[in-house]
């Protein structure tokens, strides 16, 4: 069974949810601790949502220096799939595994709602089970979720197919209110050049069961990485 690690930082909120999502997808979830550099032989890593180290300084700024991150940065460089969700996305940017950064929502309010996304790239380790252009519905909950980067970086992400998902209009959203945080170019998630590291602001781990989620669309991120690691990726 494929082992997928989920890191717990002080202030993590969604680590158990991510572990459950891995199990529902058919993998073995392995709890990793922020202060321990040992990745315990996992084949992929998830940095979950929450408020690591209380979000002091900047979101993810302290977590970037956790002992476990030294191992994750090296493993990511060697091709290990890494997914950062919400606060995890912020940590990936602080660790320079992904370009740009996440800033305060443009309206300066915490936004919590079910959010429509369009999957733009299905060539990453975390999106291979989706169809290009597929619309999915998963929860979003963040106060600092606005993705920003300079124009050169944004153009590069566009031209190289590294925008993983965008915010799009959908049922239940007011007209013109599809972008929940002011992210440039409606970006909800991006990937690195190799496609193994993905940052996503909404929370797929909260859309894996019909009983509790607005859909089961989020499960595709977890089944995708299991398929990628078994060499059976299909769109």
pLDDT in tens, the chain (235 residues): 999 999 999 999 999 999 999 999 999 999 999 999 999 999 999 999 999 999 888 899 999 999 999 999 999 999 999 999 999 999 999 999 999 999 999 999 999 999 999 999 999 999 999 999 999 999 999 999 999 999 999 999 999 999 999 999 988 887 788 999 999 999 999 999 999 999 999 999 999 999 999 999 999 999 999 999 997 543 3
- Catalytic entry in 59, 120, 144, 203: 203
Tally of domains in the chain: 1
Identify the domain containing residue 64 by its residue range.
3-230
Q: What is the pLDDT of residue 234?
A: 37
Residue 123 maps to a domain: yes
Active-site hit among 43, 86, 93, 94: 86
> Does residue 56 form part of some domain?
yes
What CATH number is given to the structural domain containing 123? 3.40.50.880
Q: Is residue 235 part of a domain?
A: no
209 is catalytic: no
211 part of a folded domain: yes
205 belongs to the catalytic site: yes
pTM over 0.75: yes
Q: Which residues contact 105 (CB under 8 A, 6 or more apart)?
A: 111, 142, 143, 144, 145, 146, 180, 181, 182
Catalytic: which of 94, 120, 205, 206?
205
Give the separation between CA 174 and CA 169, rounded to whole angstroms. Answer: 8
Instruction: Assess whether 203 carries a catalytic annotation.
Output: yes
């Amino acid at each position: 069974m494929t082992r997928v690690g989920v890191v717990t930082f002080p202030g993590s909120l969604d680590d158990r949810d991510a572990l459950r999502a891995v199990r529902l997808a058919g993998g073995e979830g392995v709890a990793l601790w922020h202060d321990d550099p040992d990745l315990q032989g996992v084949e992929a890593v998830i940095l979950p949502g929450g408020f690591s180290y209380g979000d002091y300084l900047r979101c993810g700024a302290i977590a970037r220096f956790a002992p476990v991150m030294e191992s994750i940065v090296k493993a990511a460089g060697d091709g290990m799939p890494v997914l950062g969700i919400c606060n995890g996305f912020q940590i990936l940017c602080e660790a320079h595994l992904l370009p740009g950064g996440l800033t305060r929502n443009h309206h300066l309010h915490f936004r919590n709602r079910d959010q429509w996304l369009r999957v733009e790239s299905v060539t990453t380790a975390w999106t291979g089970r989706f169809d290009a252009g597929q619309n999915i519905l998963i929860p979003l909950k963040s106060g600092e979720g606005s993705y920003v980067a300079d124009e050169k970086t944004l153009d590069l992400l566009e031209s190289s197919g590294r925008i993983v998902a965008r915010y799009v209009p959908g049922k239940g959203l007011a007209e013109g209110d599809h972008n929940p945080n002011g992210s440039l170019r409606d970006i909800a998630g991006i990937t690195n050049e190799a496609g193994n590291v993905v940052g996503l602001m909404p929370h797929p781990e909260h859309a894996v069961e019909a009983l509790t989620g607005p859909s089961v669309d989020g499960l595709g991120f977890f089944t995708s990485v299991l398929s990628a690691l078994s060499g059976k990726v299909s769109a």
